[in-house]
Amino acid sequence: MDGPTEIYDQLNLCIFPERFCLEPRGRCGELVSDTYLEIDRNTGKLGLIRNNEKPILIHDAEVKVIHGIVGIIKLVSGNALIVITKANLKGVLTGHEIWTITETEIIAYEKTTLHLTEKQIWYNRHFTDMIQLVLSTGGFYFSRTFDLSHSAQWLAENATPLFKRLPMMGRSDERFVWNRYLSAPLTSIPELFRYVLPIIHGFFDISRCIVNGHIFQLCLISRRSIYRAGTRFYMRGVSAIGHSANYVETEQLVEYDKDSDPKQRCLTSFVQIRGSIPLFWSQRPNLHWQPEPLLNPIDDQTEAFKRHMILQRDIYGGKHASSFANNFLNFLKVVVNLVNQKGREKRVGGELDRVVLRTNLDFVRLNAFDFHKECRTLDWGRLDILKKQLRGEITEFGFFSSFINSAEQMHKQKGFFRTNCMDCLDRTNIAQSMLAKVSYAKIISYF
């Protein structure tokens, strides 16, 4: 390990009747620390123990080799430790390994459930099954050396020496770290940061491509927000503090060695956003195929939209954007609204039109495109209409690029497309794919 903030490659989890011992190990299983983490199963106390003061009697323990700790959760029976037992390497981005979680295990501190009533046992099993169900759905990723929670542009703008000295969990974007709450008992103790893996939920894939003899790596990362997460119909709209439902930041990256020289490795990035229409609205499921969307007339929709957009500006407006207003001058956001402009969807889409006009934010433009009307019969060629509507911003926003071994930024993405339909699924996927292809074409021609 190179520094005091890097995460251990793997851990030996030694399970004793009275305690858990987590022993740091290297890639080849070698011992890499003179201390280990001890968790008292009776009191819940956590702390580092020196090997020479209290050696682990490994022959008396059940030993599991684990990839890392997800966190600690309180169940009906008491606390339980959640660990990653299996993970697959998905790819290598700029020299950093990216892993996907394939198996986890929940290990209760309590050795039996004899202290519980029959009803408590049922609830305890039910809660445990729900946690395992979520963790087994897939789409959970981690890296021990790369910050998966931030975009390449954000990292380039904010990667100060002080920032780099922060532990991985301490510098990650809280919007996209799904085990921040579970890991809080560990991260509250600074010495234990190296045991904690920030885990994102979404999508990651990377492929080697060849275009006109040029070899490059093509990568896609989607980061799903922890705020207002949930399935369609059950989770809609925006929260009082500006977080929208089903919010996802998607980043496409291209890694390319200029003149086939790894020392001149270039990284480009283009970020898009999707999220539920940022108003107070709901569409709870019922016996109808498409429930009527509801807007409460007493809700302040203007304030809801404004808070969401200002929050977006604070996040994406540039280095230290929340402190220096001048950095906002180059920030723009286009809201691409794909809902039907008649019928039940018009109720929410029309309200969005009204609110955008009323707020009159100079850094936001609304672009309405009735997807079902324009692309009926699956005529995707009609997307050229949307492309022409956004042509100016596509050129103006550009993309981020920089040399990995240099602090110099060659290009900066100056604006962002925020796309929505009703569910932020099919229509949004197609529109974002169109924008992604246009951006890729510009990036490839740049090389």
Please tell me the predicted confidence (pLDDT) of residue 323.
31
The conformation of residue 196, written as its DSSP 8-state character, comes to: B
Q: Are the C-beta atoms of 256 and 210 separated by less than 8 Å? A: no
pTM of this prediction? 0.92
Q: Kindly tell me the burial class for residue 323, based on how many C-beta atoms sit within 10 Å of its own C-beta (0-12, 13-18, 19 or more).
A: exposed
Mean pLDDT of the 390-411 span: 86
Beta carbons within 8 Å of 164's beta carbon, 6+ residues apart? none
93 strand-pairing partners: 96
Report the candidate in 294, 351, 3, 38 with the shortest Cα–Cα distance to residue 145.
Answer: 3
Whether residue 21 has pLDDT greater than 50:
yes
Arithmetic mean of pLDDT over the chain: 91
Mean pLDDT of 196-201: 97
Q: With pLDDT > 70 as the criterion, what percentage of the chain qualifies? A: 95
Q: Please, which residues have CB within 8 angstroms of residue 90's CB and are 6 or more apart in sequence?
A: 98, 99, 100, 141, 204, 205, 206
Q: For 216-260, how does the pLDDT look when each residue is reduced to its tens digit (9 = 90+)?
A: 999 999 999 999 998 888 999 999 999 999 999 999 999 998 877
pLDDT at 329 over 50: no
Has residue 407 got a pLDDT over 80? no
* Residue 269 vs residue 2, higher pLDDT: 269
Q: Is the pLDDT of residue 432 over 80?
A: yes
Tell me the two tokens of residue 29. Answer: 């299983």
Give the span between the Cα atoms of 322 and 334, in whole angstroms.
Answer: 20
Instruction: Tell me: pLDDT of 315 over 70.
Output: yes
Tokens for 257, please give them.
Answer: 């060695």
Pairing of strands 46-50, 200-211: unpaired
E strand spans, 58-139 = 62-66, 68-75, 78-93, 96-108
Q: Give residue 324's pLDDT.
A: 32
Mean pLDDT of the 302-310 span:
96
pLDDT at 285: 87
- Asked if pLDDT for residue 438 goes beyond 60, the answer is yes
Residue 172: closest CA among 188, 158, 186: 158
Helix or strand or coil: residue 264? helix
Residue 3 has a pLDDT of: 53
Mean pLDDT, residues 158-168 taken together: 84
Residue 138 DSSP symbol? S
Give pLDDT, residue 181.
96
C-alpha gyration radius of the chain: 24
Structure confidence at residue 212 as a pLDDT band (50, 70, 90): confident
Joined tokens for residue 141: 């990723």
Q: How confident is the model over 59-79, as pLDDT tens digits?
A: 999 999 999 999 999 999 999
Q: What is the mean pLDDT of residues 84-90?
A: 98
The pLDDT of residue 328 is 44
What is the CB neighbour count within 10 angstroms for residue 300? Answer: 13
